[in-house]
Amino acid sequence: MRMPLIGMAIGAAMLSGCASASFEISRQDQIDDVERVRAGFDAGILAAGGSVSYPAMDYSTARCRWAAGDPTLAVCRTQRKFLNRPWRSVTVSYRRDAAGLWAQVDRPGS
């Protein structure tokens, strides 16, 4: 009987930083965000006469909750796959931009 209670307490502690409403950010919305960021990087490289290519990467639907301390911040769990490697679970944060598009905010360099 004790083990389930401990597990429930740990789970509740992990989610205590998030509001209770859960929602999803689609695979395509995540891909679109990455492509917008890449387009910004690519513009400078291409203008300088360089070329750009990226390895294959895939995403699963992100399961998210609104952060309790910041109701505009979505804290999400998703999976990503790079080339032929196995799927990897990651935690990421997103905000909607002025156009209503999801933008990852915890990306290195952001």
Within a domain: 1: no
Its pTM stands at 0.69
The boundaries of the domain holding residue 68 are 22-46+55-110
Predicted local confidence at residue 52, as pLDDT: 86
**Total number of domains in the chain:** 1
Residue 58: CB partners within 8 Å, gap ≥ 6? 27, 80, 81
The rounded Cα 44 to chain-centroid distance in angstroms is: 25
Within a domain: 41: yes
How far apart are the C-alpha atoms of 1 and 37, rounded to whole Å?
Answer: 49
Within a domain: 8: no
Q: Are 67 and 73 in contact (CB under 8 A)?
A: yes
User: Could you read off the pLDDT of 68-96 as tens digits, one per residue?
Assistant: 888 889 999 999 998 889 999 999 999 99
How far apart are the C-alpha atoms of 58 and 37, rounded to whole Å?
Answer: 16
User: Could you read off the pLDDT of 57-71 as tens digits, one per residue?
Assistant: 899 999 999 998 888
Within a domain: 88: yes
